[in-house]
Structure 1
Amino acid sequence: MPAALKLTPADWLAIEREACKRSLATFVQQAWHVIEPGQPYVHGWHIDAVAEHLEAVTDGQITRLYIAVPPGSMKSLMASVFWPAWQWGPKGQAHKRIIATSHAEGLAIRDNLRCRRLIESDWYRSLWPEVKLTGDQNEKKKFENTATGFRQAMPFGSLTGSRGDSIVIDDPLSVDDAASEAKRETVNTTFLEAVPTRLNNPDKSAIVCIMQRLHERDVIGVIEAKGLGYDALVLPMEFEPDRRCKTSIGFTDPRTNDGELLFPERFPPAVIERDKKVMGSYAWAGQMQQRPAPREGGLFKRAWFEIVDAAPASRRKVRRWDLAGTEAKGTGDPDWTVGLLLSEQAGIYYVEAVTRIREAAAGVERTIKATALQDGKSVPIVLPEDPGSAGKSYASYLVRLLAGWNARAERETGSKEVRATPVSAQAEAGNIKLVRGSWNEAFLDEVSMFPNAAHDDQVDALSGAFAALLSGSSYNLANVA
């Protein structure tokens, strides 16, 4: 029999080098002890999936990628720490220049330091001694190697200066900022206008966005709304068969059963149920399910709205308008002007029709007047009055335009959620029905996503119409056929 093969330390190093070169996931597992010496490595199949897509970016198969995964899935470590070090060492691409950014500068710097610590570790240097950092550019925000590659950390709001072969965007929006329209739109403008200018080669350089969903108009929402052509790796914590993820490199979410967990090795069923109660349905839907509203709906659920063929013959009516503001900056997805006709009989409310347009002021005025003619003068009209003298003047102008109708303008008070709560309670009780029409689906889509929807114009119009009917005596709302 031949003598047993004896491997030298150099042989073992060569084997490890080759294994890490072939697989980013293998590199992650082998390098784990350097980054997290006090925590045991726990593997999940999603790590392989994320690694395969980052490998495809390295190989030039993908140049635009977003990854939506729950927190605690190693997303920051995978994309911001291990992947840059893997490209420089195992893949032999030390010339790569990487810009890594996050909503907070401290987080971006944290991962820059982790990546540098890995590259300077005894383990890494024993396997890839050819990767050497320069002494004159080795700081916590930026470090460079002798092949002129670098990794630089930046806060997402300050993408200036350097250009990279790849830009890693790790959580561009914080959970707290997601509730602010102004902050969301600032982030979206940076993504659309600043990020593309930070690339070395627009046709070959890569943008990788890895995050959790926080709002329908977050960065991923903008990518989808504008059809920017990103590959999308979307992995909810609990599997939803109708949202099974498939990508251009042949990946398909391997789960088959509704509710099957993404990472049970770390997040077993008991932990999932505990965290659901703590987080609530809104936070769970976005951060864990990668859907900015609960599956069955948020403040409004689709199942609450029965669709009927017609409203009763005799009922109180009101037409409530919600006027579009200016276009949301950078999204190409402006708000709508909505006129909602709501009626009531015996405590049951009927959404009879929704007029929904995107027009300039002259078109809006024509539509309001034409709708009033169609409704008839027996149907009161309520218009919003925006704050400030300009809003008051425009509201007065519209009321004059509707001379001969029972029209008035009102200033809204309280948040949109507060105004929607009373009508939500009636919907939950089954007291709000929809008259069958082509507008039904768009209405249900919007209300079931509220308050995290990209648009809330129909919800605002519904809330205002409900409030008008509730205080009907002040509007002289008589029963009309």
Structure 2
Amino acid sequence: MSGSAVRYNLQSINPRQILAAIRREKARRAEGSLPEYIKQVWPTIEPGTRYVPNWHIDCIGEYLEAVDRHEIRRLIINIPPRHMKSLEVTVCYPTWSWITNPWKRFIKVSYSDMLSRKHNILSRDIITSPWYQGNWGDRYVLKGDVNRQNQFANDHHGMMYSTSTGGALTGEGGDVIIVDDPQNPIMANSETEREASINFFKNTLQTRLNDPKTGAIIVVMQRLHEQDLTGYILAENLGYEHLCLPAIAEKHTVVTFPISGREVVREEGDLLNPGRFDRQSLDDLKRSMGSLQFAGQFQQTPAPAGGIIFKREWLGQFYRQAPTMNMLIQSWDQPFTKSEGSAKCAGIVMGRRGADIYVFDLVNEKMEFTESVAAMRSLSGKWPKARAKVVENKANGPAIVSLLRKEIPGLVEFNPKGSKEERALSITPYLEAGNLHLPDPVQHPWVHDFVEDLLRFPKGTYKDTVDAFVQGVLYLMDKPAVSAPPVGTMQTHQSYWGAIGAETGRR
């Protein structure tokens, strides 16, 4: 081709056509990928702020795309604050979905009506922006007669409605319900606030899906307490996909994307988003917030991995063959009744040898009264040398003691003094000194759950195992390690002190 022909072809290219082709290609990529859409819309929602890409944005995006495809209908996302959870899930995702599904109706719920309205306004701002209108303005039109801060609609019957936890939803239904931080972090320890958010979710939100078979519910939140909304959903096994992204990986974890199958491997100590929260930033936050709040909001573990009252380093002494005990007991914490959210029946077999405490066996289930009675009979038959059966004098305890007193020997009613926390604190010196010994968890898998119950106490959902354990320790340590002989001959006393020496030597 001659040079004049080349010049002619170049001169014939229209720059406007090139720019239009580029714009169409970018729009096509944004329409097909929520993470790409977020990257392109960023200057519209955060002008003047640099967009910091990270794999967690892509991962959440794929989960939301799977929701849009009806491949996932129930989803929990636990992620630290300031990691774009609200912008991605509550603000951007619904506007992206409307590009191809303008008929969808979204209900957005947050703990604050003002916050929920803010998210809805941002969604509307995206839709009315020149960028969005220039790419997809021909897909639908916003209706002028339904265009408020907390509710707007389009001409395809699509709707976005925002409200607060406990707010009015009379007559409203949705195809996708997004619950974004249902409880104020400031009220993390308020049982009333937690119960209110859970009851609103159970009794109101779940009934607002237009079609329960195809509708989706997304819960995105930072963890605040073991009994927060996420804790309730997981405990009740409601069939939710669970994406949990702590700020700092506490163990080797593989995060698998739901559509592409992409895998991100997180080793212990890896940061979730180092471009925004580096190690120093997280350390500073942990110091200022305290380990308990940091564990919930940034690590998604409402109790610190190291423990609250009982520390993990105190719980690492395991045995395969226990020595002969000076005293062996059962300790029981009985519930009132078996029901949703009620306490469990906890029975623990424990022994003492000198200064050391050994745990041997554990029963821990929700039980009716008759089941609790059967459990005590069964454990007594299994451990006949556990002479004392210590039962807290509360709930079903006195009734069980009265029923079984003539059948099972050694039933002792225990009257605790002080609060559960005070009693737990009183036994910490024994654990800190290394006096607690647990069975090998390889042979006894229940030990893992027992340790986690101790670490989470008093923030855990169930406190029954810890109550029974603390009660048992208090009873054991209140008794002499070796029974002293009656006053008698010198030979008797020499035999007694000889036995003590022999015991010490064997230890």
If the TM-score is normalised by the length of the shorter chain, which range does it land in?
0.7 to 0.9
Measure, in 2, the Cα distance between the counterparts of 1:253 and 1:275: 29
Could you tell me which of 63, 76, 86 is aligned with 2:96?
86
**C-alpha displacement of 1:193:** 4.4
Question: Number of residues paired by the alignment?
Answer: 467
**C-alpha displacement of 1:411:** 4.5
Q: CA contact under 8 A between 1:100 and 1:152: conserved in structure 2?
A: yes
Which structure 2 residue ranges, 5 or more long, are not aligned?
1-5, 486-502
Q: CA contact under 8 A between 1:234 and 1:245: conserved in structure 2?
A: no
Match of residue 57 from structure 1: 67
Q: 1:278 to 1:262 in 2, by over 3 A?
A: same
Match of residue 464 from structure 1: 471
**What aligned pairs does 1:331-370 form with structure 2 within 5 A after superposition?**
335-368=343-376
Measure, in 2, the Cα distance between the counterparts of 1:418 and 1:113: 49
**What aligned pairs does 1:220-369 form with structure 2 within 5 A after superposition?**
220-305=230-315, 306-327=317-338, 329=340, 335-368=343-376
Q: CA contact under 8 A between 1:159 and 1:198: conserved in structure 2?
A: no
Measure, in 2, the Cα distance between the counterparts of 1:187 and 1:328: 20
Amino acid at match of 2:114: G
**C-alpha displacement of 1:191:** 3.2
Cα displacement string for residues 365-420 of structure 1 (whole angstroms, at most 9, x for unaligned residues): 3433565576669844432234xxxx5xx554444342663622415532x33332
Q: 1:295 to 1:5 in 2, by over 3 A?
A: farther
Measure, in 2, the Cα distance between the counterparts of 1:103 and 1:467: 42
Q: 1:371 to 1:255 in 2, by over 3 A?
A: closer
Q: 1:460 to 1:174 in 2, by over 3 A?
A: farther
Match of residue 427 from structure 2: 423
Secondary structure, counterpart of 1:244 in structure 2: strand
Q: CA contact under 8 A between 1:69 and 1:234: conserved in structure 2?
A: yes
Amino acid at match of 1:7: R
Q: 1:250 to 1:20 in 2, by over 3 A?
A: closer
**C-alpha displacement of 1:303:** 4.7
Q: CA contact under 8 A between 2:380 and 2:386: conserved in structure 1?
A: no
Measure, in 1, the Cα distance between the counterparts of 2:261 and 2:81: 21
Q: 1:324 to 1:29 in 2, by over 3 A?
A: same
Secondary structure, counterpart of 2:204 in structure 1: helix
Match of residue 150 from structure 1: 159
Could you tell me which of 433, 438, 459 is aligned with 2:437?
433
**C-alpha displacement of 1:337:** 0.9
Measure, in 2, the Cα distance between the counterparts of 1:314 and 1:479: 16
What TM-score results when the alignment is normalised by the length of structure 2? 0.81
Measure, in 2, the Cα distance between the counterparts of 1:14 and 1:172: 39
**C-alpha displacement of 1:453:** 3.0
Q: 1:469 to 1:48 in 2, by over 3 A?
A: same
> Relative to structure 2, which stretch is displaced further, 462-471 or 433-442?
433-442
Measure, in 1, the Cα distance between the counterparts of 2:475 and 2:310: 20
Cα displacement string for residues 166-207 of structure 1 (whole angstroms, at most 9, x for unaligned residues): 111112234355434554444334434433321112222211
Secondary structure, counterpart of 1:30 in structure 2: helix
Q: CA contact under 8 A between 2:110 and 2:179: conserved in structure 1?
A: yes
Match of residue 115 from structure 2: 107
Q: CA RMSD in A?
A: 3.2
Match of residue 37 from structure 1: 47
**C-alpha displacement of 1:459:** 0.7
**C-alpha displacement of 1:65:** 2.0
Determine whether 1:205 maps to 2:215.
Answer: yes
**C-alpha displacement of 1:325:** 3.9
Cα displacement string for residues 215-268 of structure 1 (whole angstroms, at most 9, x for unaligned residues): 344333344344433333222222355332225424444245432221111112
**C-alpha displacement of 1:164:** 0.9
Q: 1:319 to 1:263 in 2, by over 3 A?
A: same
Q: CA contact under 8 A between 2:351 and 2:357: conserved in structure 1?
A: yes
Could you tell me which of 412, 429, 432 is aligned with 1:407?
412
Q: 1:186 to 1:385 in 2, by over 3 A?
A: farther
Match of residue 137 from structure 2: 129
**C-alpha displacement of 1:470:** 4.1
Q: 1:28 to 1:357 in 2, by over 3 A?
A: closer
Q: CA contact under 8 A between 1:232 and 1:247: conserved in structure 2?
A: no
Which structure 1 residue ranges, 5 or more long, are not aligned?
none
Measure, in 2, the Cα distance between the counterparts of 1:76 and 1:408: 52
Q: 1:243 to 1:469 in 2, by over 3 A?
A: same
Q: Does 1 or 2 have the higher relative contact order (CA < 8 Å, sep 6+)?
A: 1
Secondary structure, counterpart of 2:413 in structure 1: strand
Which has the greater radius of gyration? 2
